[in-house]
């Protein structure tokens, strides 16, 4: 089975873990479809080696977990792009993929993205992709997924 990494911010990882996020949108950069139903996505997220004394060797902590909020400035966090596959704790199976214009997102689509409404989604999109990115209305892959539990 085909497997590929996918990056998510800490709030979006929390939404996946809570079961609120079942869809993601990614800008179409290539005409070739990189996301195929049935393929697996392993989530890359911000991470660190466990800073607690007595922690098991090579144990990992994740920025998305609220218990690390108070230690945020004291931990050397590694960006999600540098997460090795072995440290990934979330695997997703692609259920459905379609292409669409970003601004066609509905209120129910926004909820499946892990936010409350379309306005919140547009703010999140701009935060991730730069000011004015939502207004540019790019063509995106709409990727529906389900979480795989070990």
For residue 24, the domain's CATH number is 3.10.400.10
The answer, yes or no, to whether residue 137 has pLDDT greater than 80, is: yes
Model pLDDT, residue 71: 76
Model pLDDT, residue 55: 79
Distance CA 3, CA 86 (A): 13
Per-residue pLDDT of 43-99, as tens digits, reads 999 999 988 888 787 789 999 999 888 877 888 999 999 999 999 999 999 999 999
Q: What is the mean pLDDT of residues 16-22?
A: 97
Range of the domain at 91: 3-148
Distances (CA, A) of 74 to 9, 39, 52, 57, 62: 19, 37, 11, 19, 14
Distance CA 64, CA 110 (A): 20
User: In sequence order, which residues have a C-beta less than 8 Å from that of residue 72 and are 6 or more positions away?
Assistant: 63
Model pLDDT, residue 37: 96
Q: What are phi and psi of 47, to 5 degrees?
A: -145, 170
Percent over 70 (pLDDT), the chain: 99
The answer, yes or no, to whether residue 141 has pLDDT greater than 80, is: yes
Q: How many domains does the chain have?
A: 1
Percent over 90 (pLDDT), the chain: 81
Tell me the longest C-alpha to C-alpha distance in the chain: 50
Distance CA 63, CA 77 (A): 8
Length of the chain: 150
User: Global pTM?
Assistant: 0.92
Distances (CA, A) of 54 to 60, 89, 115: 13, 22, 37
């Amino acid at each position: 089975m085909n497997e590929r990494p996918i990056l998510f911010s800490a709030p979006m990882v929390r939404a996946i873990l809570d079961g609120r996020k079942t869809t993601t949108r990614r800008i179409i950069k290539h005409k070739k479809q990189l996301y195929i139903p049935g393929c697996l996505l392993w989530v890359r997220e911000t991470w660190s080696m466990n800073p607690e004394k007595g922690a098991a060797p090579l144990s990992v902590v994740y920025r998305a977990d609220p218990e690390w909020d108070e230690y945020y400035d004291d931990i050397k966090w590694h960006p999600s792009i540098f997460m090795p596959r072995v440290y990934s704790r979330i695997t997703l199976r692609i259920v459905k993929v379609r292409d669409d214009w970003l601004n066609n997102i509905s209120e129910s689509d926004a909820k499946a993205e892990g936010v409350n409404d379309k306005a919140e989604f547009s703010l999140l999109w701009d935060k991730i992709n730069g000011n004015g990115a939502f207004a540019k209305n790019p063509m995106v892959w709409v990727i529906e997924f389900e979480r795989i539990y070990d």
